[in-house]
Chains A and B, each alone.
Chain A
Amino acid sequence: MEKQEQVSNGQAEMHGQPEMHGQPAKTPLYEAHVAAGGKIVDFHGWLLPVQYGGILKEHENVRTKAGLFDVSHMGEIEVNGEDALGFLQQMLTNDIDVKPGKAVYSPMCYPDGGTVDDLIVYKLKDTDYLLVVNAANAAKDFEWLKGNKRGRLTVTDRSSEFAQLALQGPESLTILRQLMSDDPDQLKYYHYTTETSVGSMRVFVSRSGYTGEDGFEIYCRPEDAVRLWDMLIEKGRPYGLEPAGLGARDTLRLESAMPLYGQELSEVITPVMAGLQRFIKPEKGDFNGRKPLLEQLQGDLESRIAGFEMVDRAVPRSGYEVYRSGQCIGHVTSGGFFPTLKKNMGLALIGGETSNTEAGGTIEVKVRDTLYSARIVDLPFYKRNRTR
Chain B
Amino acid sequence: MKTYQGTKFTKEHEWARADGGKVYIGISDYAQHAMGDIVFVELPRVGKKLKAGEQTSVVESVKTASDIYSPVSGTIAEVNEALNDSPEQLNAEPYENWIAVLEADDLSELDKLMNEQQYADFCAKEG
Contacts and interface: CB of A to CB of B under 8 A. Distances in A.
Interface of A: 1-4, 6, 39, 50-51, 54-57, 247, 251, 313-315, 317, 336-337, 339, 344, 368
A55 B38 CA distance: 10
Contacts of A54: 36-37
Contacts of B14: 1
B60 A313 contact: no
7 contacts: A1-B67, A2-B67, A3-B65, A4-B64, A51-B36, A54-B37, A337-B62
A4 B62 contact: no
B54 interface: no
A314 B12 CA distance: 23
B35 interface: yes
Contacts of B3: none
A55 B64 contact: no
A50 B63 contact: yes
Given A313-B84, A315-B60, A3 B39 contact: no
A251 B58 contact: no
B63 A1 contact: no
B127 to A, nearest CB: 12
Which residue of A3, A50, A313 has the most chain B CB atoms within 10 A of its CB atom? A3
B40 A1 contact: no
B39 A315 contact: yes
Given A1-B13, A344-B40, A339 B62 contact: yes
A99 B124 CA distance: 58
B66 interface: yes
A82 B33 CA distance: 55
Given A1-B27, A1-B31, A2-B12, A317 B65 contact: yes
Contact of A337 (B13, B40, B66): B40
Interface in B26-85: 27, 31, 34-37, 39-40, 42, 58-60, 62-69, 84
B65 A315 contact: yes
B19 to A, nearest CB: 22
Given A3-B66, A4-B58, A337 B31 contact: no
B36 A247 contact: yes
Contact of A315 (B37, B40, B68): B40
Nearest to B32: A1
Quick one: which of A6, A39, A56, A344 has the most chain B CB within 10 A? Answer: A56
A146 to B, nearest CB: 36
A337 B68 CA distance: 20
B17 to A, nearest CB: 17
A317 B58 CA distance: 14
Nearest to A41: B63
B62 A2 contact: no
Contacts of A50: 63
A50 B66 CA distance: 18
B27 A56 contact: no
Contact of B37 (A55, A344, A368): A55
A6 B65 CA distance: 9
Nearest to B68: A1
- Specify which of B34, B37, B59 lies most central, judged by the most chain A CB atoms within 10 Å of its CB: B37
Nearest to A1: B66
A344 B34 CA distance: 21
A247 B14 CA distance: 25
Contact of A313 (B27, B40, B59): B40
A166 to B, nearest CB: 19
B67 to A, nearest CB: 5
Contact of B12 (A1, A55, A57): A1
Given A6-B64, A55-B37, 5 more contacts: A1-B67, A50-B63, A51-B36, A57-B37, A337-B60
A79 B42 CA distance: 51
A1 B59 contact: yes
A338 to B, nearest CB: 10
B53 to A, nearest CB: 11
Contacts of B66: 1-4
Given A4-B66, A315-B65, A339-B62, A55 B40 contact: no
A220 to B, nearest CB: 29
A312 to B, nearest CB: 11
A317 B63 CA distance: 9
